Amino acid sequence: GIQVEQSPPDLILQEGANSTLRCNFSDSVNNLQWFHQNPWGQLINLFYIPSGTKQNGRLSATTVATERYSLLYISSSQTTDSGVYFCAVRTGGSNYKLTFGKGTLLTVNP
Protein backbone atom coordinates (compact mmCIF):
# COMPACT_ATOMS: atom_id res chain seq x y z
CA GLY A 1 0.00 0.00 0.00
CA ILE A 2 0.89 3.65 -0.12
CA GLN A 3 3.53 4.90 2.29
CA VAL A 4 3.20 8.28 4.01
CA GLU A 5 6.20 9.80 5.72
CA GLN A 6 6.09 12.95 7.78
CA SER A 7 9.00 15.04 8.95
CA PRO A 8 10.21 16.12 11.36
CA PRO A 9 8.74 13.71 13.92
CA ASP A 10 9.12 16.32 16.67
CA LEU A 11 9.43 20.09 16.62
CA ILE A 12 9.82 22.54 19.48
CA LEU A 13 9.31 26.24 18.81
CA GLN A 14 9.13 29.48 20.67
CA GLU A 15 5.93 31.45 20.30
CA GLY A 16 6.09 33.64 17.22
CA ALA A 17 8.37 31.37 15.21
CA ASN A 18 7.53 29.93 11.79
CA SER A 19 7.72 26.28 10.79
CA THR A 20 7.35 23.95 7.82
CA LEU A 21 6.07 20.40 8.11
CA ARG A 22 6.55 17.95 5.28
CA CYS A 23 4.57 14.98 4.03
CA ASN A 24 5.99 12.61 1.39
CA PHE A 25 3.85 9.91 -0.20
CA SER A 26 4.85 6.99 -2.36
CA ASP A 27 2.05 6.93 -4.96
CA SER A 28 -0.30 9.30 -6.75
CA VAL A 29 -3.25 10.45 -4.65
CA ASN A 30 -6.70 11.88 -5.22
CA ASN A 31 -7.17 13.17 -1.71
CA LEU A 32 -4.72 14.71 0.74
CA GLN A 33 -5.74 16.19 4.03
CA TRP A 34 -3.89 17.85 6.89
CA PHE A 35 -5.24 17.46 10.40
CA HIS A 36 -4.34 18.90 13.79
CA GLN A 37 -4.88 16.63 16.77
CA ASN A 38 -5.18 18.81 19.82
CA PRO A 39 -4.19 17.73 23.34
CA TRP A 40 -7.77 16.55 23.95
CA GLY A 41 -7.49 14.12 21.05
CA GLN A 42 -9.76 15.91 18.59
CA LEU A 43 -8.81 15.63 14.91
CA ILE A 44 -9.41 19.00 13.35
CA ASN A 45 -9.48 19.46 9.59
CA LEU A 46 -6.93 21.99 8.43
CA PHE A 47 -6.78 21.54 4.66
CA TYR A 48 -8.20 19.37 1.92
CA ILE A 49 -5.47 19.84 -0.67
CA PRO A 50 -4.86 17.09 -3.27
CA SER A 51 -2.97 19.69 -5.32
CA GLY A 52 -2.14 23.39 -5.33
CA THR A 53 -1.88 25.92 -2.53
CA LYS A 54 -4.36 27.06 0.08
CA GLN A 55 -4.18 29.53 2.93
CA ASN A 56 -6.23 29.87 6.08
CA GLY A 57 -5.04 32.60 8.41
CA ARG A 58 -1.59 31.80 9.74
CA LEU A 59 -1.61 28.39 8.11
CA SER A 60 -1.01 27.52 4.51
CA ALA A 61 -0.41 24.31 2.61
CA THR A 62 1.02 23.34 -0.73
CA THR A 63 0.77 19.99 -2.44
CA VAL A 64 2.96 19.17 -5.45
CA ALA A 65 1.20 16.04 -6.61
CA THR A 66 3.63 15.29 -9.45
CA GLU A 67 6.52 15.19 -6.96
CA ARG A 68 4.48 13.43 -4.28
CA TYR A 69 4.85 15.79 -1.36
CA SER A 70 2.90 18.33 0.62
CA LEU A 71 4.04 21.09 2.94
CA LEU A 72 2.20 22.71 5.83
CA TYR A 73 3.40 26.15 6.86
CA ILE A 74 2.66 27.61 10.26
CA SER A 75 3.56 31.25 10.73
CA SER A 76 3.73 33.27 13.96
CA SER A 77 3.08 30.12 15.98
CA GLN A 78 1.01 30.27 19.15
CA THR A 79 0.86 27.93 22.13
CA THR A 80 -2.55 26.77 20.93
CA ASP A 81 -0.87 25.39 17.80
CA SER A 82 0.70 22.66 19.93
CA GLY A 83 -0.36 19.12 19.17
CA VAL A 84 0.19 16.51 16.50
CA TYR A 85 -0.14 17.35 12.82
CA PHE A 86 -1.15 14.50 10.54
CA CYS A 87 -1.06 14.18 6.81
CA ALA A 88 -3.48 11.62 5.33
CA VAL A 89 -3.87 10.50 1.74
CA ARG A 90 -6.24 8.45 -0.37
CA THR A 91 -5.22 6.86 -3.62
CA GLY A 92 -7.54 6.25 -6.54
CA GLY A 93 -9.19 3.07 -7.74
CA SER A 94 -10.76 0.79 -5.16
CA ASN A 95 -8.73 2.14 -2.25
CA TYR A 96 -11.26 3.84 0.01
CA LYS A 97 -9.28 4.48 3.15
CA LEU A 98 -7.28 7.47 4.27
CA THR A 99 -3.74 6.40 5.08
CA PHE A 100 -2.16 8.49 7.79
CA GLY A 101 1.43 9.39 8.41
CA LYS A 102 2.86 9.01 11.90
CA GLY A 103 2.49 12.73 12.51
CA THR A 104 4.65 15.64 13.65
CA LEU A 105 4.46 16.49 17.35
CA LEU A 106 4.66 20.28 17.63
CA THR A 107 5.29 21.98 20.94
CA VAL A 108 5.09 25.77 21.05
CA ASN A 109 6.53 27.29 24.20
CA PRO A 110 5.52 30.72 25.51
Query: What is d(CA 102, CA 85) in angstroms, rounded to the nearest whole number?
Result: 9
> Does 41 participate in binding another protein (rule CB under 8 A)?
yes
> Does 80 participate in binding another protein (rule CB under 8 A)?
no
Only one of the segments 10-18, 19-27, 38-46, 53-61 lies at the binding site for another protein (rule: CB under 8 A); that segment is 38-46
Residue 98 CA, chain-centre distance (Å), reads 13
Reduce the secondary structure of 13-57 to three states and give it as a string: EECCCCEEEEEEECCCCCEEEEEEECCCCCEEEEEECCCEEEEEC
Rank residues 49 and 108 by Cβ distance to another protein and give the closer one. Answer: 49
> Does 100 participate in binding another protein (rule CB under 8 A)?
yes
- Cβ neighbours of residue 26 under 8 Å, at least 6 residues apart? 2, 3, 4, 68
Only one of the segments 13-21, 40-48, 59-67, 74-82 lies at the binding site for another protein (rule: CB under 8 A); that segment is 40-48
Only one of the segments 10-18, 52-60, 71-79, 95-103 lies at the binding site for another protein (rule: CB under 8 A); that segment is 95-103
Which residues contact another protein (rule: CB under 8 A)?
30-31, 33, 35, 41-45, 48, 86, 88, 90, 92-100, 102-103
